[in-house]
Chain A
Amino acid sequence: MSDALLEVRDLRVSFRTDDGLVRAVDGVSLRVEEGETLGIVGESGSGKSVTMMSVMRLITDPNAQFSGEILYKGRDLMKLNQSQIRSIRGSGIGMIFQDPMTSLNPVYKIGWQIAEQIRAHEQVSSAQARDRAVELLAAVGIPQPARRIDDYPHQFSGGMRQRVMIAMAISCNPDVLIADEPTTALDVTIQAQILKLIRKLKEDFGTAVVLITHDMGVVADMADRIAVMYAGKIIEQGTGRDLFYDPQHPYTWGLLGSIARLDRPRPRRLAAIPGLPPSLLRLPEGCAFSERCAHRFDLCSTQPELAARLGTAHLDACHLSPERKKELRVTTIHPELIAEAP
């Protein structure tokens, strides 16, 4: 049945700690089709990074426990040994990280670091690898690449380092590029440059992109489909239009309401979500969001399923009926409408 490029099935990741079991990812299923951009949105601790780190098999903590399947082109990555997974990292799935300051090795030259990756995956001479590195730097928009290739990471600005990370991630033409908060550490102007670059690479090479972010603006701009995560679970999933114009889960409403937006009149107050995300050590019975939800009712003490309540590919995990949601959400996302009503 599966023609998805990358598919995650019922992934569970938990960490044993002195205080008990931390359930960081709790039954996540995702599909990434060829050439599409999937946005994963959530706050810190929602499990979005752990999910994608697990896909890359980068979690080496001996206290981590995994279950579920991660299928890349039909192969289960969870069952591969270290050398097999290494051949997939980079050439099949590339990844860029949030912090371009710490993802590069400060004591090696930029060009060497890119060439090393190319030579790890392909049988090429070091001169060829170096030429490829220059081409890659040019492709990601580093001026004077032939000269900058012998610079060290500290000689690059934050935005340029992130470009170098992207050059490394695409050096072996991966089918999937996982970008974990690629612009969070950058200024808005530099963020716009990097997002433009990612969009261009996607168009030029047809790479599928998984974009992890907490910024609703960034996913609105970039993603074809979006999954919203909360406390280790996906609570809503659909196309960009579904999520922004027809949001179904009260947590998504809360996220949309708490942004100070430039494209709307200024509300008197932001619709902040009260309280804090639950501890992953002691998740509440039933819906994890129920403690903070203004619309909870008796059903919320049982766990809602992520299901297609609208009968489309738009999934959500909330017990409220679609009709009820339509009534409630406007006032949740735009509280100024109640305040201003006579």
Chain B
Amino acid sequence: MTVLPRGDDPPIPPAAPLGASGDGEVLLRAEHLTKYFPIRQGVVLQREVGRVHAVDDVSFELRAGETLGLVGESGCGKSTLARCIVRLYDITSGSLFFNGQDISKSSRRQLRPVRRDLQIVFQDPYASLNPRKRAGAIISDPLRIHHRGSHTEIRKRVLELLELVGLSSEHVNRYPHEFSGGQRQRIGVARALALNPRLIIADEPVSALDVSIRAQVINLLDDLQDELSLTYIFIAHDLGVVRHVSDRIAVMYLGKIVEISPAEELYQRPVHPYTEALLSAVPIPDPDLSAGRQQIVLEGDVPSPIDPPSGCRFHPRCRFATEICKTTEPPLVQHGSPDHLAACHHPLSAAAGLAAVPVAVSETPADLVP
């Protein structure tokens, strides 16, 4: 089996048709979204001594029906961004439009109708379900809070939802501890679906699950998107999973989006050196490809978001960094196709022959030797 260098790849094939993508109306728009957490010191008079720059000047658009993947290392601000979007956190500055309406400064009362359309699935299915409530009560909570129907109607809807996520009506009276991790995550999904939302933010929904169960939950989310024409923001640190579910992908580093691109293009032609390093770090389940691969191993850890590096935040770990990277922050500009933006002074060229992810040459799996 031979390995093609990435630069010699044939033109980018169209992405697999995962949900309607691209041409839908803009459902969510973030403009210069910023979230700082103050660090306070002092017992009585709490002075602010610093700020964690968790999300710093992030702008993007999300179209109805598409899936936007959000990747990055821990601490890059992807979960904070998710919580800002559903307004679990107040936004420090910037604006956020959902369905044309500015929700960045809305009060709790004003947010209530919006939240019907905007739901979140959390990472840890062990911590995000109340252990003292039965599955049925957990799923029906949103319906009761939003006064959706009578007692019997709600009960009927709960059974419908359980079936939709692949559980059965006998599960309705069980407690969370009686379920496995994958089943719990299904309950979390059912709860998010209860109000027929338009946008679901899935914050690492499969990270806590075993491989085989992970695939089940991903397939479920995929089916639900087709059936209910949902829009997703899918956060994960597993780049394979993100590629599988996403139409577009945003890569975050220290609170900023450093690259955003259609999914396949990001993997075939990364522009930002950080994206390349991330892709290159993913282990490949193929011994020969893995052995023949030039891995870029980033040195050191992610710097502190309390005092992020000047200029380009990636420069202390970047192998291409020069003087300008230390002083000037690169803007997010177009590279390649119109949808492909990256923030880098020294973008990787397509011809450089990137070997971040070697790809098996033949279309059919050649691995199963005779």
Contacts and interface: CB of A to CB of B under 8 A. Distances in A.
Nearest to A156: B301
A212 interface: no
Contacts of B212: 43, 254-255, 258, 272-273
A195 B283 CA distance: 10
A187 B369 contact: no
Interface residues of B, number: 57
A159 to B, nearest CB: 6
Interface string B320-361: 000000000000000000000000000000000000011110
B267 interface: yes
Contacts of B367: 244-245
A330 B365 contact: yes
B73 A43 contact: no
A23 interface: no
Contacts of A330: 365, 368
A217 B244 contact: no
B241 interface: yes
Interface stretch (B53-61, B101-109, B284-292): B284-292
A262 B284 contact: yes
Nearest to A239: B287
Interface in A235-269: 240-241, 244-247, 254-269
A235 to B, nearest CB: 13
Contacts of B227: none
Given A43-B212, A260-B243, A220 B284 contact: yes
24 contacts: A187-B73, A189-B297, A196-B295, A196-B297, A215-B283, A218-B283, A244-B287, A245-B287, A255-B212, A257-B215, A258-B211, A258-B212, A260-B240, A262-B239, A263-B360, A266-B244, A268-B16, A269-B219, A272-B218, A273-B215, A273-B216, A276-B183, A334-B365, A337-B364
B364 A261 contact: no
Contacts of A187: 73-74, 237
A190 interface: yes
Contacts of A260: 215, 218, 238, 240-241, 243-244
| Most chain A CB inside 10 Å of its own CB: which residue of B16, B212, B238, B369 | B212
A258 B281 contact: no
B264 interface: yes
B287 to A, nearest CB: 4
Contacts of B284: 217, 220-221, 261-263
| Most chain A CB inside 10 Å of its own CB: which residue of B182, B278, B285, B370 | B285
Contacts of A196: 295, 297
Given A272-B215, A274-B216, A261 B240 contact: yes
Given A188-B281, A330-B368, A220 B359 contact: no
Contacts of A216: 211, 285
Contacts of B216: 272-274
A166 to B, nearest CB: 16
A310 to B, nearest CB: 12
A189 B73 contact: yes
B285 A259 contact: yes
A192 B297 contact: yes
A37 to B, nearest CB: 12
Interface in A200-231: 214-218, 220-221
B282 interface: yes
Contact of A264 (B211, B282, B360): B360
A225 to B, nearest CB: 11
Interface of A: 43-44, 157, 159-160, 187-193, 195-196, 214-218, 220-221, 240-241, 244-247, 254-274, 276, 326, 329-330, 333-334, 337
Contacts of B298: 189, 192-193
B180 interface: yes
Contact of B301 (A160, A218, A244, A256): A160
Interface string B167-190: 000000000000010110000000
B368 A329 contact: yes
B88 interface: no
Contact of B358 (A217, A221, A263): A263
Nearest to B222: A269
A118 B286 CA distance: 39
A191 B239 CA distance: 14
B279 interface: yes
B295 to A, nearest CB: 6
A39 B261 CA distance: 36
B277 interface: yes
B218 A270 contact: yes
B307 interface: no
A276 B271 CA distance: 41
B214 interface: yes
B25 interface: no
A259 B369 CA distance: 20
Contacts of B13: 265
Contacts of A276: 180, 182-183, 213
B285 A244 contact: yes
Contacts of B360: 263-264
Given A193-B299, A196-B297, A333-B365, 15 more contacts: A43-B211, A196-B295, A244-B285, A257-B215, A258-B214, A260-B218, A261-B285, A262-B267, A265-B363, A268-B16, A269-B219, A270-B215, A272-B213, A272-B216, A276-B213
B287 A240 contact: yes
A90 B290 CA distance: 31
Contacts of B286: 220, 244, 263
By Cβ-Cβ distance, the 5 closest A-B pairs, closest first, are: A217-B283, A272-B215, A258-B215, A260-B240, A260-B244
A300 B114 CA distance: 53
A216 to B, nearest CB: 4
A191 B73 CA distance: 11
